[in-house]
């Protein structure tokens, strides 16, 4: 059996943590959800994560903070940012800092799949 890619979700919104992993599994990924950046960093999944779906605005450490921290730790994990703030100016900034994509909530499952495919590149094992 092929090892499925692990997609980790970090979002302080509970409904996201509930719904996204199910969709990710439908896509064929393994999924883990965390309520904060700190919780993710403290977990054993950092090094196993193939792609990170990361909320921008969180209490405490924000999404971009985590991105910086991972860069500092030289953990090159592709990141797909998600945000409920409609500020479109953040997207180019985040992409310039190395993010794969930045999706504005609400986003469609197809848009998410496309972003993930791009993030994981040819290593994708996403077809269900």
Partner 1 sequence: MLQIFTQGIASGEPYDFEARLRRFDGAYRWFQVRGLPLRDVGGAILRWYTLLTDIDERRRAEDALRHSEASLRAIVETTPECVHVIARDGTLLSVNAAGAEMAGAPSVDLMLGRNFYDFVTPEDRERYRAFNESICAGQKGFLEFDIVRMDGARRHLETRAAPLRTDDGTVVQLGIARDITARKQAEARLRESERRLRELTETIPVMLWSATPDGAIDYCNGRFLEYTGLDAEQLMGRGAFTKVLHPDDLDRTVQAWLSCIRTGAAFQAEVRKFHAADTAYRWCMVNARPLLDEHGRILKWYGTVVDMHDWRQAQEELRHTQEKLAYMMRVTTMGELTASIAHEVNQPLSGIMTNAGTCLRMLAADPPDVAGASETVRRTIRDAHRASEVIVRLRALFSGKELTTESMDLNEATLEVIALSMDELQRHRVMLRPELAGDLPLVTANRVQLQQVILNLLRNAADAMAGVDDGPRQLLIRTERDEGDRVRLTVQDVGVGLEPHVVDKVFQAFYTTKSSGMGIGLSVSRSIIEKHGGRLWGEPNDGPGATFAFSIPRDPARTTDAVAV
Query: Rule CB under 8 A: which residues touch partner 1?
Result: 13, 15-16, 18-20, 22-23, 26, 59-60, 82, 84-87, 104-110, 112, 128
CB of 5 to partner 1, least distance (A): 17
Least Cα distance to 118 among 77, 62, 78, 67 occurs for 78
Q: Which residue's CB is nearer to partner 1, number 109 or number 123? A: 109
What tokens does 117 get?
Answer: 């495919």
Rounded to whole angstroms, the Cα distance separating 91 from 114 reads 17
Rounded to whole angstroms, the Cα distance separating 56 from 64 reads 6
Q: Which residue's CB is nearer to partner 1, number 19 or number 68? A: 19
CB of 125 to partner 1, least distance (A): 17
Rounded to whole angstroms, the Cα distance separating 91 from 79 reads 12
CB of 26 to partner 1, least distance (A): 4
Q: Which residue's CB is nearer to partner 1, number 44 or number 110? A: 110
């Amino acid at each position: 059996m092929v090892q499925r890619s692990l997609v980790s979700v970090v979002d302080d919104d509970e409904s996201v943590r509930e719904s996204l992993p199910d969709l990710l599994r439908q896509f064929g990924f393994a999924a883990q959800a965390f309520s904060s950046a700190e919780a993710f960093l403290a977990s054993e999944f950092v090094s196993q994560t193939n792609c990170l779906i990361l909320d921008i605005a969180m209490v405490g450490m924000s999404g971009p903070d985590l991105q910086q921290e991972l860069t500092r730790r030289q953990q090159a994990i592709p990141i797909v940012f998600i945000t409920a703030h409609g500020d479109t100016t953040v997207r180019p900034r985040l992409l310039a800092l190395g993010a794969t994509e930045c999706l504005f909530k609400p986003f469609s499952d197809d848009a998410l799949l496309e972003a993930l495919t791009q993030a994981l590149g040819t290593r994708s094992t996403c077809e269900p």
